[in-house]
Amino acid sequence: MSTSAEGRKPDENLTPVRWGVLGASQFALKVSLRGMKRGPLTQLAALASRDIGKARAAAQSLGIPRAYGSYDELLDDPEIDAIYNPLPNHLHVKWTARAARAGKHVLCEKPIALSAKDAAALVDVQHETGKLIAEAFMIRNHPQWQQARDWVRSGRIGDLVSVQTAFSYFNRDATNIRNRKEVGGGALYDIGCYAVNTSRFLFGREPVRAMALIERDPEFGTDRLTSGLLDYGGAHLTFTCSTQAVAYQRVNALGTRGRIEIEIPFNAPADQPCRIFLDDGSTLDCSSARVSSFPIVDQYHLQSEAFSRAIRAGGPVENPIEVAVRNMRVIDALFRSAESGRWEKI
């Protein structure tokens, strides 16, 4: 990062953003908040749960100074500048809208809604309130994805013609929120959304139609195996996601003159370097691939710092609400296709 004339980094002149957290989910406590609290511009100031005891325990575990026994109490706190919303999927739109109308900027976990129509309502809320609203696809802040996109844009692999994505884990716990259909569980909402988002990120345009095949769990009703195909106009995304398959994730981007492989594309570890591969295809055993390693980073730290910087200094926001709506349009089309058995326009 460049420094100012006085020799100080620009961020040192910015006041930290005071964040409030809605809920005390295990994902937030164990993963995202631990990264967020590392950022000098991100000050975790308060956490709310519907159970004050749970709120206090969660806040204490992360060194968050204030705990509230209701979400409204947090939104009424005049010292809070921004809200992080990792609530269950079906609560994202409601509490993101309420937070923005309470005068807070909002970073909401994915998927930001359960339909494009509901997501679009948040565009109106952003215009009404003037507050920033973004969907938390943290991977867009990771340098491995930014490098991959730069290679695509610069023509290092020729013309990008295909993105192939696999993302899966095994979870048959009936009490787990990912297996509850009524709150937005299932593979496509939880992890298939990454395939959609990152293919749009790499292609730099929107797909025109979608096709999907879904296998539903007979007990939960959620999609436990979803495979999809997106038509980008002469180029494709093909993907498979599953909540009941061996844990695995990988992305391959195939061009006319080379390919990019991202080894750990989504759950990039915060304690070890990440690697991506650039291959000209001259050998079939991949020995021709050049390896690029990236310094250890926490993508949740990078995400919250970028959002805090946008609040304090202006500038673009990664995955703003308008981009989030377009992701939901694709997901809607995939669900429609699984029902109709045919291509669906986006």
Q: Whole-angstrom distance between the N-terminal and C-terminal Cα of the chain?
A: 39
CA 167 – CA 163 distance, rounded (Å) = 13
Question: Residue 110 catalytic?
Answer: yes
Tokens of 270: 């915060």
> H or E segment at 300?
helix 299-313
Q: Which of 37, 104, 110, 131 is catalytic?
A: 110
Contacts of 275 (CB under 8 A, 6+ apart): 144, 263, 264, 291, 292, 293, 294
Euclidean distance between CA atoms 237 and 161, whole angstroms: 9
H or E element that contains 144: helix 143-153
Q: Residue type for 276, please?
A: I
Q: Which two tokens stand for residue 325?
A: 């709506």
Distance, CA of 205 to chain centre: 18
Q: Which of 103, 109, 131, 96 is nearest to 33 (CA)?
A: 109
Q: DSSP code of 154?
A: T
Residue 327 pairs in a beta bridge with none
Structure tokens at 5: 């004339």
Q: Shortest CA distance to 252 belongs to which of 176, 166, 185, 343?
A: 166
Token pair 């990019």: residue = 260
Beta-carbon contacts of residue 258 (< 8 Å; ≥ 6 apart) = 156, 157, 158, 278, 279, 280, 281
What SS3 state is found at 262? strand
d(CA 30, CA 54): 15
- Inter-residue contact 147 to 276 (CB < 8 Å): yes
Catalytic positions are 110
